[in-house]
Amino acid sequence: MKDKIIVTGGCGYIGSHTVIELLESDFEVVILDDLSNSSEATISRIKKITGISPIFIEIDLKDARATHKVFSDHKDAKGVIHFAAYKAVGESVQEPIKYYKNNLFSLLNTLEAQVYNGIENFIFSSSATVYGMPNTLPITENNKTQRPFSTYGNTKKIAEEILEDYTRSNKVFSVISLRYFNPIGAHSSGEIGELPNGIPNNLMPYITQTAAGIREKLMVYGNDYPTKDGTPIRDYIHVVDLAKAHVLAVKRLLNKEQEMALEIFNLGTGVGYSVMDVIKTFETVTGVKLNYEVTSRRDGDVPELYASINLAKEKLGWSAKKALDDMINSSWIWEQNFQNETNVISKSLSGSDSLK
Ligand code: UFG
């Protein structure tokens, strides 16, 4: 019998890559997703890559009754990985209630439903944004958290506080919260990758869409930061490396190896690259010249952020393997594949239109 894992938001960017790693590590997977920022086509892509079709249930986790029903149907699951959340930083500042409602109601309903059905293990998709403006680098998990600038970030911080309270009150419930730095890259098959809704907030999809001619120009938000070239430094991590860390976290919980009811791990490479490093590496790796312009700083951006990765190495036995070149190259291959497919579909649609 395979161990069953419920993955909320399993059709999304990090969720879908994690589902692949879980399937390839011999877990059974049930995906719960409302498809608000993803597509059901991801399921067939996962099948194409792994040869296995995960169970897929379209559900809005804000609906407590529906959530309870699904968890009672899958009470044999051994754990839950909770990705389902809205994640657009800019939109979250414009529409805070939408973000608090979605990200926190979904979390609370999931927790309640899983514990009611005796599922004791939970992995949370958190973010380095909970560190706010760090005073020391690299950031260890012991760094004090601060109120993040964005509502999106604050939902992650509040969620971790909810999990802290929940593990304190419920002695059998075990949680690992994974704080991601800057996930980029795509699966080596070129079948799945990041697909932001509308205009991307994040650097990498903005770069690939500019290179593909969808955006006219990349705006570099400030080159007057106290860094080597004046542009902000981040810890970019390949999404497949990130996905593998989730599998190790699941195994740690299932094998009852955790040392505290709530454990927190940074997931990064420990190496920081500036925005200009990323642009230059993109141009070198792909041979495509990028149209960019330096503009003013973006509100809420910190100058420098990179992880201390020792804890994840020691406790999860995990470290990132893929270099920046690979992250960028795979993002670019995915973008090109996606654009080619979109063109084929729109050509065939306009073809059928003309037949009418
Ligand atoms: N940037 C640009 N132009 C763009 C987009 C980004 O210059 O069009 C710059 C930003 O100013 C920043 C760097 O590229 O210096 C990285 O920006 P991203 O938006 O890609 O990533 P952030 O570090 O701002 O945010 C990421 C995740 C958030 C998470 C945060 C934690 O996207 O979900 O890290 O620090 F909350």
302: its two tokens: 């910190």
Residue 354's pLDDT band, with cuts at 50, 70 and 90, is very low
282 within some domain: no
347 within some domain: no
- Ligand 1 atom nearest residue 206's Cα: 8
pLDDT at residue 157 is higher than 90:
yes
Amino acid at 181: F
119 within some domain: yes
- Ligand 1 atom nearest residue 297's Cα: 11
pTM for the structure as a whole: 0.96
Q: How far is CA 196 from CA 49, 153, 199, 255, in A?
A: 22, 18, 7, 36
pLDDT at residue 347 is higher than 90:
no
Q: Please give the span between the terminal C-alpha atoms of the chain, in angstroms, as a whole number.
A: 52
Average pLDDT, stretch 31-49?
A: 96
Average pLDDT value over all residues in the chain: 95
- Ligand 1 atom nearest residue 275's Cα: 14
Is the beta carbon of 219 within 6 A of some atom in ligand 1? yes
Residue 171's pLDDT band, with cuts at 50, 70 and 90, is confident
Domain of 320 in residue numbering reads as: 4-273+295-341
Pairing of strands 79-82, 55-58: unpaired
pLDDT at 349: 67
Is the beta carbon of 220 within 6 A of some atom in ligand 1? yes
34 within some domain: yes
Structural domain total, the chain: 1
Residue owning the nearest CA to atom 10 of ligand 1 = 221
State the CATH number of the domain containing residue 106: 3.40.50.720
Separation of 335 CA from ligand 1 center, angstroms?
A: 19
335 within some domain: yes
Average pLDDT, stretch 283-293?
A: 98
Torsion over CA: 198, 200, 205, 211 (sign): positive
Residue 353's pLDDT band, with cuts at 50, 70 and 90, is very low
pLDDT at 351: 61
- Active-site residue set: 152
**Could you report the per-residue pLDDT of 303-324, keeping only the tens digit for each?**
999 999 999 999 999 999 999 9
266 within some domain: yes
